[in-house]
Amino acid sequence: MEGKAAVLGSADFVMPFAAMGLDTFPAEAVAAQVEAQATLILKQKYALVVVAENIARLAQPVFEATQKTATPCVVVVPFATAPEGIATESLGRMLKMATGINILKN
């Protein structure tokens, strides 16, 4: 499958991805800004969306409807801030959809 990749996060987070040629959507941890960028990403039909963990909860309402579809694949990755566990939760949901069991359950 081919498709475009988008990266959503603070300017510091998206900068290395921009250097690699990916489409970046900088947004600080402000709900309206994150939701606007996430909505723009969905409208442009990206296949992969990389989201910084520190803003993932703010983007979740926008991406929630797409979590049961193959695309876009939304991947939450940790950033330089203290981990909040959102990346692990997101990975657990994806693995449960793929395998039918919660293999990361404590």
Q: What is the CATH number of the domain that holds 65?
A: 3.40.50.10580
Residue 30 lies in a domain: yes
The range of the structural domain enclosing residue 61 comes to 5-99
Annotate 49-105 with DSSP letters as a single string.
Answer: EEEEHHHHHHHHHHHGGGTTSSSSEEEEE--SSPP-SHHHHHHHHHHHHHHSS-TT-
- d(CA 79, CA 69) in angstroms, rounded, equals 26
Residue 105 lies in a domain: no
Please state the pTM of the whole predicted model: 0.75
Residue 39 lies in a domain: yes
pLDDT at 95: 55
pLDDT in tens, 42-60: 999 899 899 998 898 999 9
Better pLDDT: 69 or 46: 46
Residue 22 lies in a domain: yes
Residue 64 lies in a domain: yes
Number of folded domains that form the chain: 1
Residue 104 lies in a domain: no
Which pLDDT band holds residue 71 (cuts at 50, 70, 90)? confident
- d(CA 33, CA 31) in angstroms, rounded, equals 6
pLDDT in tens, 78-97: 776 655 666 556 656 655 65
Judged against a pLDDT cut of 50, whether residue 13 lies above it is answered with yes
